[in-house]
Amino acid sequence: MAKHSIVPVHLAVKALRDSGYKNAAYAVAELMDNSIQAKASVVELLCAERVNTSGLRNRSQIHKLAVLDNGCGMDAAVLQMALQFGNGKYLNDFSGIGRFGMGLPSSSISQAKRVDVWTWQAGPQYAIHSYIDIDEIDAEVLADVPEPVTKPIDSVWREVGGQFGESGTLVVWSKLDRILWRTANTIIKNSELLIGRMYRYFLADERVKIRLASFDIDTNPKYRKIEEKCALPNDPMYLLPKTSCPAPWDNVPMFTQADFQNSSFSIQLGGDIHKVNVKFAYAKEEARKGYNAGREPHGRHANHNKGVSIIRAGRELDLDTSWSEDAEALRDRWWGAEVSFPPELDELFGVTNNKQSARNFSDLAKTDPDVLKEMGQTWAATKDAMHEVEDPRLPLAEIVHHIRTNISTIRSLLRAQGSITKNKRHSDSPLSEEQGTLVVRDRIRDGYLGQSDEQEKQQSVEEREQEIASELVEHGVTPQQAQHLAAQTVNRGLKYTLTKSSLTSPAFFDVRSREGSMIVSLNVEHPAYKHSLEILQQELDSLDESNLKESIANARKGLELLLFAWARYEDEQPDGKRRLQAQEVRWDWGRMARDFLGEAE
């Protein structure tokens, strides 16, 4: 009876082509992982174009793609092993970024039908070669990895490659049938930020240099055009200097850690203790200056880096965007969070063999916190319950809870980072602070005096500025912004200063009289702020018509619910003095609002 393989080779390889790489840049990163694991100091992505004359117009399109390094190279046995699926030199090595034995073959066939590998350890003139070809596998011509043989490296790669040292490896993809990006420059453009982010720590400390180059493969070698650049670190934490972030934040960090300390979690596994490190950062106030900083080049750059960066062995696996919320979409570009762990914790975190995600960690992050709290009413009780049933998710759940808590705090800081007062308004009408001041001056002339009016007469301009600035700092305004607001208030004779603050009280806003000015602090933690004023203060220019209408409708609903809340407050007052006092407060405030809003018309 004829023998039958459990899985026919050509069908297995066909299934492996759908290995789930997000795009060509992630597949290229697998090759670069191998290069870095081989201690390469220079890695090159070489994109060869060819003019396609088959259509109505001649167009350049990607023809071949190669990754070249100056690493330690491979001997024949290791090369043959490297082209096998699930085999490799580092399967039990937890010291680097490799290990799974799937990178070279699976990433290659996910994008191309053929992969050729040259590698050498005593000069490129002695390079050995092997390959995988999907067409030959489908035709059942090729069933095993061809035995490596000495073979000259194609001359075109010798011409365009910059690092043919004493040892190294060249991987070439051809028959590119699955790369969605059609031109070399598009591949480089889309790879640059991703590769710069994945390997930012390797690039920042100059452990490796990554060169990106494109050229026309059919042009005469003497005139062959090469466009090239070196990948810069792309830091979603914006704490590294000299990155790909646009000026003025290309050479200095755009974010700060401020009072956020790096945290370390100890996880015991197999008798050993392994460390998981977590850190946070958020935008400096200067980065958010201006009316619409989110639409500036640095704001757009940050918008591509939203999420929690998951780092394994110094290399980013994923930038998990599920941590960003729709309601916080515009603001979430202005914070960064990073969790890093060693390869020994791969199984716990659920690292996929294509190194694109930490599945267990990300799935837990997407879980509704209330689901975890079914075991207890508080986080402490939940931890105790998970520990009691030996839930293996407990270490990850602690990290997720820590990240959620800190992101919430950072969002509050960002909401309160500056004053609501903007130098630029949509209309040419005076600021609301100015309108309010005009009404107050009229009331003073009519004999209505407030506590702030007496204070205004008692101190010098300098003393008033200092006192107002001190009060603003206590409300969470940065010292620089506090000085600016205080000077604006005093020099322009304003009776109001409007700020945002994270208040611990249940009040929607707080009012303090300070040296002739009334400081009104909106509580950014109060739902009334989030469902009304915050919506109206967002970057309207960045919204399309449908989103703008939705924002206005949500703000209207928020203001209506505020009225309903007051109506219910009155309704719950007992008959008699308290109910009458509530009504009188409403009447008095209504008369005052009539004066202010009438002046603002």
Do 555 and 464 sit in the same domain of this protein? Answer: yes
118 inside domain: yes
CB atoms within 10 A of CB 327: 14
Single out the residue in 195, 230, 265 at which a domain terminates: 230
Single out the residue in 387, 414, 441 at which a domain terminates: 414
Q: How confident is the model over 379-403, as a mean pLDDT?
A: 83
Structural contact between residues 142 and 134, judged by C-beta atoms closer than 8 angstroms:
no
User: Residue 403 pLDDT > 90, yes or no?
Assistant: yes
Q: How confident is the model over 241-251, as a mean pLDDT?
A: 95
427 inside domain: no
User: Residue 327 pLDDT > 70, yes or no?
Assistant: no
Of 158-167, 295-304, 457-466, the range with the lowest mean pLDDT is 457-466
465 inside domain: yes
Q: How confident is the model over 550-572, as a mean pLDDT?
A: 80
Cα distances from 481 to residues 485, 501, 503, 515, in angstroms, run 6, 13, 18, 18
User: Residue 491 pLDDT > 90, yes or no?
Assistant: no
Position 123: which residue type? G
CB atoms within 10 A of CB 577: 9
Query: pLDDT value at position 241?
Result: 92
**How many structural domains is the chain composed of?**
3
Do 259 and 187 sit in the same domain of this protein? Answer: no
pLDDT tens column, 270-314: 889 999 999 999 999 889 876 678 889 999 999 999 999 999 999
DSSP states along 490-542: HHTT-SEEEEEE--SSS-SEEEEEETTEEEEEEETTSHHIIIIIHHHTS-GGG
User: Residue 92 pLDDT > 70, yes or no?
Assistant: no
Give the C-alpha separation, 35 to 24, whole Å.
17
The overall longest dimension of the chain from CA atoms, in Å, is: 111
Q: What is the DSSP letter of 337?
A: E
Do 184 and 293 sit in the same domain of this protein? Answer: no
Exposed e or buried b per residue across 151-160, where buried means at least 16 C-beta atoms within 10 angstroms of its C-beta = eebeebbeeb
User: Residue 207 pLDDT > 80, yes or no?
Assistant: yes
243 inside domain: no
pLDDT tens column, 513-528: 877 788 888 777 777 7
Position 394: which residue type? L
SS3 174: strand
Q: For residue 573, what are the domain limits?
A: 432-600
Query: pLDDT value at position 38?
Result: 93
Q: How confident is the model over 7-27, as a mean pLDDT?
A: 70
Do 471 and 365 sit in the same domain of this protein? Answer: no
Dihedral of alpha carbons 80, 83, 85, 88, sign: positive
User: Residue 7 pLDDT > 70, yes or no?
Assistant: no
Cα distances from 506 to residues 35, 474, 524, 525, 572, in angstroms, run 57, 18, 11, 9, 18
User: Residue 99 pLDDT > 70, yes or no?
Assistant: no
Write down the mean pLDDT value for the chain: 83
Cis bond upstream, residue 233 (ω within 30): no
Q: How confident is the model over 149-175, as a mean pLDDT?
A: 94
User: Residue 162 pLDDT > 60, yes or no?
Assistant: yes
Structural contact between residues 249 and 238, judged by C-beta atoms closer than 8 angstroms:
yes
SS3 309: strand
Place of tokens 């004023």: 533
The residues pairing with 272 across neighbouring beta strands, listed in sequence order, are 269
Single out the residue in 213, 230, 247 at which a domain terminates: 230
Q: Which residues contact 302 (CB under 8 A, 6 or more apart)?
A: 238, 245, 254, 283, 294, 333, 334
Of 333-337, 407-411, 413-417, 442-446, the range with the lowest mean pLDDT is 413-417
User: Residue 426 pLDDT > 60, yes or no?
Assistant: no
290 inside domain: yes
* Structure tokens given for 187: 């591949």
**Confidence band of 421 (pLDDT split at 50, 70, 90):** very low
CATH assignment at residue 191: 3.30.565.10
240 inside domain: no
Do 444 and 401 sit in the same domain of this protein? Answer: no
Do 408 and 484 sit in the same domain of this protein? Answer: no
The residues pairing with 52 across neighbouring beta strands, listed in sequence order, are 59
Give the C-alpha separation, 584 to 88, whole Å.
81
Query: pLDDT value at position 422?
Result: 42
Give the C-alpha separation, 310 to 352, whole Å.
13
Do 60 and 209 sit in the same domain of this protein? Answer: yes
pTM for this model (two decimals): 0.72
Do 389 and 516 sit in the same domain of this protein? Answer: no
Q: How confident is the model over 101-120, as a mean pLDDT?
A: 88
* Structure tokens given for 236: 């979603």
User: Of 13, 80, 69, which is closest to residue 42 (Cα–Cα)?
Assistant: 69
User: Residue 73 pLDDT > 60, yes or no?
Assistant: yes
Residues 445/451/453/459 CA torsion (nearest 10 deg) = 160
Do 95 and 204 sit in the same domain of this protein? Answer: yes
Query: pLDDT value at position 417?
Result: 66
**Confidence band of 248 (pLDDT split at 50, 70, 90):** very high
Do 442 and 568 sit in the same domain of this protein? Answer: yes
* Structure tokens given for 371: 């689901």
424 inside domain: no
Do 15 and 126 sit in the same domain of this protein? Answer: yes
Query: pLDDT value at position 418?
Result: 47
Query: pLDDT value at position 22?
Result: 85
Query: pLDDT value at position 425?
Result: 41
172 inside domain: yes
Q: Which residues contact 594 (CB under 8 A, 6 or more apart)?
A: none
Instruction: Kindly state the percentage of the chain with pLDDT values over 90.
Output: 40
User: Residue 545 pLDDT > 70, yes or no?
Assistant: yes
Do 292 and 223 sit in the same domain of this protein? Answer: no
**Confidence band of 94 (pLDDT split at 50, 70, 90):** very low
Of 5-14, 275-284, 575-584, the range with the lowest mean pLDDT is 5-14
User: Residue 541 pLDDT > 50, yes or no?
Assistant: yes
User: Residue 17 pLDDT > 80, yes or no?
Assistant: no
